[in-house]
Amino acid sequence: MRTILVASSKGGAGKSTVATNLAAYFALDGKATAILDADKQKSSTHWCEKRAHLESAVLPLDGCRRNWDKHLPDGIARLVVDAPAGAMGDDLKDFLDRADAVVVPVLPSAIDIEATVPFLDSLVTHPRVKKGKLPVGLVGNRLKPWTSASQQAMAQLQAWPYPLVAQLRDTQAYVLLAGLGKSVFDYHSEQVRSHQEDWAPLLRWLKKAL
């Protein structure tokens, strides 16, 4: 089982959006996929429930449950962890111990970028991150690429020691798809394919990490 941890200390950064779309991608690729939902809002769990009737269903697991690691079912090929909101490195130790890669969504604002710095610093305290054995990738989320604010924010992220592995454009499509239990990978229209292309660098990075 390969495990991807999606985490951010800043609320509203898009953890669940990234987690659910990644899970859908793996499920549509034929891999038995589960989401370990450790966020008390349970957005990822609700998404899984709406998707349950599809062949590419994703199994929801309770990451808030004590000793969750002892209740993981057999046969899962990909586990996507939707981390608790506001958690720092110490809070994520059990997830970091198991993860094969960490994905950190960041919004293009000074407040969000400043809030992400101490979070990334807290990740470095984990031995696997510190030794470079656990890859950490940044995802610019809800970007408006035509604006100077987004451009400046991404330039700032690219100067950080962790790679910027994807830049996802802002669109209401993610909100609509989440309400249906769907993802950008469930459709093949020209408009949706343009959003799928935003994910391609992240998927390539994860393929190397996993």
Instruction: Report yes or no: 78 and 31 within 8 Å, Cβ to Cβ.
Output: yes
Residues whose CB is less than 8 angstroms from the CB of residue 3 and which lie 6 or more positions away in sequence, other chains included:
78, 79, 80, 81, 98, 99, 100, 101
**Residue 103 has what pLDDT?**
98
Q: State the Cα angle at 185 between 183 and 187, rounded to 5°.
A: 90
**Residue 16 has what pLDDT?**
95
What's the rounded Cα separation, in Å, for the pair 11 and 115? 10
**Residue 148 has what pLDDT?**
87
Q: Under CATH, what is the fold of the domain 2-202?
A: Rossmann fold (3.40.50)
Q: State the Cα angle at 66 between 62 and 69, rounded to 5°.
A: 70
**Residue 4 has what pLDDT?**
98
| pLDDT per residue as tens, the chain (210 positions) | 999 999 998 888 899 999 999 999 999 999 999 999 999 999 999 999 999 999 999 999 999 988 888 889 999 999 999 999 889 999 999 999 999 999 999 999 888 999 899 999 999 999 999 999 999 999 999 998 888 888 888 888 888 889 999 999 999 999 999 999 999 999 988 888 889 999 999 999 999 988
What's the rounded Cα separation, in Å, for the pair 190 and 210? 29
**Residue 149 has what pLDDT?**
83
**Residue 177 has what pLDDT?**
93
Q: Which residue has the tokens 């990334």?
A: 120
